[in-house]
Amino acid sequence: MNNLPANILAVDDDKTSLLVLDAYLRSFGFNVTTASGGLQALEVLGKRDFDLLISDLRMPGMDGIELLKEMRRRDITAPFIVVTACGSIESAVAAMRQGACDYLEKPFNPDTLQLTVQRAIDYHRALSENRQIKAYLEEHFTFQNIITVNPAMKEMLEMAAKVTSSPHTTVAIFGESGVGKEVLAKAIHFASTGMPTGFVAVNCAAIPEQLMESELFGHVKGAFTGADRDRAGKFSQAGNGTLLLDEIGDMPLPLQTKLLRTLQERTFERIGDNTAIPLDCRVIAATNANLAERVAAGSFREDLYHRINVFPLHIPPLRERKEDIRQICEHVVTELQQHLGKSLPGISQKAMDAILDHDWPGNVRELRNRLERAAILTSGDLIRPEHLGLMLTTSQPGSQQDNDPLYSTYHLKTPVNSLSLSALTSQILSQTLELCKGNKTKAAQMLKIDRKMFYRD
């Protein structure tokens, strides 16, 4: 929250009252500007913004209520506190019906004045910050801002939009690392609630097994050694919002049983307490693992798999929707230009060719990271291939590489000019053997070398 001193405009036609109010407010640490009436206050408001306005009700020319009405007509949203003489509460109530947030009585009580003013400022700042957060979420985490022209991706987004009307339906999001599973989860949350708060994410792979139950469900004081106070878990923290269980495939088997019961009964219990707490949030499970394979291997419960797979959404990897890459790049470069505060004219054709040629195993996250790196390295000119740090795996048409599939097979981890001959040979042998699924004879025939090369130290 903003900790800077608040700027307050104090308005009163009585000079003595205005001086007293000014002195009190300054003693509390506020920045104060004064105006001798409603008309002068409007002149001041036309030149700068304020965190709060405090105005007397009875003033010649333009009284407090008329000033408040004119402020709102001009879309000035600063909170408004009215000041009234003792015994004129009816006038203060009338002002509050017009949008005043509170009132004060003359003569001022310093403690009441400070409390009333601080409460109005804190509320207004919190409201303003919530609006900013909501605007940010609308810009970054809505379906409209997930960039795609790919038919499969569009179909998936249409399905995701439909589930937003069913707040208790469990959603499963499948996709490789970096495809945007959390971005999609936030879009579903925001479209469901319209709220910037109430989204809680838990990485099931990052929390030690012995702590995960408490992390999710919470505990009461004394439930186990070290539980010196009650603690709310992530299910409670999500409230009526959304709980994202990221990398759910890595959740320990014992906890899977408790999660299954929670999803079925729509209730949960804290550790050490038998009280059933209603589950109000939507649960979204996300994973880059093949859960069906894990079920077959016995590391994931089959009944839980079917329970979370009520509404599955599959995000295709970036290499399967390369038609989206140009638009994603344009969007990211525009964002980076604002974030870094530097001119970024765009991406050169050679750099774009390199981007389109890359398989993007890290998907959209990797693409964004590469572009951010490039944006930092460039000096206000076009992003070029060397800024991206990608290993080019294709060559000019008509070259030997163009005719021999082997040359387009290798994705070297280190630039060729940084490798010794021995290291380069080792990488080629290793990747050819992998390509031939471990068949050394076939790999040797493909490279036209002696099979013994694969046994050298």
Rounded mean pLDDT, 222-251: 93
375 touches 336 (CB < 8 A): yes
Q: Looking at residue 99, which CATH number applies to its domain? A: 3.40.50.2300
In terms of domains, do 301 and 176 share one? yes
Rounded mean pLDDT, 11-30: 94
Distance CA 58, CA 63 (A): 5
Range of the domain at 169: 164-315
Q: Which runs of consecutive H residues, i.e. helices, occur in 47-109?
A: 64-73, 89-97
- For residue 438, what pLDDT band results from cuts at 50, 70 and 90? confident
Residue 266 domain-assigned (yes or no): yes
Residue 147 domain-assigned (yes or no): no
In terms of domains, do 372 and 306 share one? no
Rounded mean pLDDT, 43-67: 92
Residue at which a domain ends, from 315, 338, 367: 315
Rounded mean pLDDT, 60-85: 91
Residue at which a domain ends, from 291, 315, 339: 315
Q: Where are the beta strands (DSSP E) in 57-124?
A: 80-85, 102-106
In terms of domains, do 379 and 259 share one? no
In terms of domains, do 128 and 211 share one? no
pLDDT tens, position by position, 359-408: 999 999 999 999 999 999 998 889 999 999 885 443 344 333 333 334 33
Side-chain half-sphere of 365: how many Cα atoms within 13 Å? Answer: 11
In terms of domains, do 253 and 365 share one? no
Domains in the chain, number: 4
Residue 115 domain-assigned (yes or no): yes
Question: Tell me, what's the pLDDT at 88?
Answer: 67
In terms of domains, do 345 and 277 share one? no
Identity of the amino acid at 150: N
In terms of domains, do 23 and 69 share one? yes
Question: Tell me, what's the pLDDT at 94?
Answer: 81
Rounded mean pLDDT, 427-450: 75
In terms of domains, do 223 and 355 share one? no
Place of tokens 């269980």: 245
For residue 418, the 8-state DSSP code is G
370 touches 328 (CB < 8 A): no
- 3-class secondary structure, 137: helix
- For residue 79, what pLDDT band results from cuts at 50, 70 and 90? very high
Contacts of 180 (CB under 8 A, 6+ apart): 146, 315, 363, 364, 365
pLDDT tens, position by position, 117-127: 999 998 888 88
Residue at which a domain ends, from 388, 412, 441: 388
In terms of domains, do 257 and 293 share one? yes
In terms of domains, do 187 and 259 share one? yes
192 touches 161 (CB < 8 A): no
In terms of domains, do 263 and 371 share one? no
Residue 425 domain-assigned (yes or no): yes
pLDDT, averaged across the chain: 86
Q: Looking at residue 244, which CATH number applies to its domain? A: 3.40.50.300
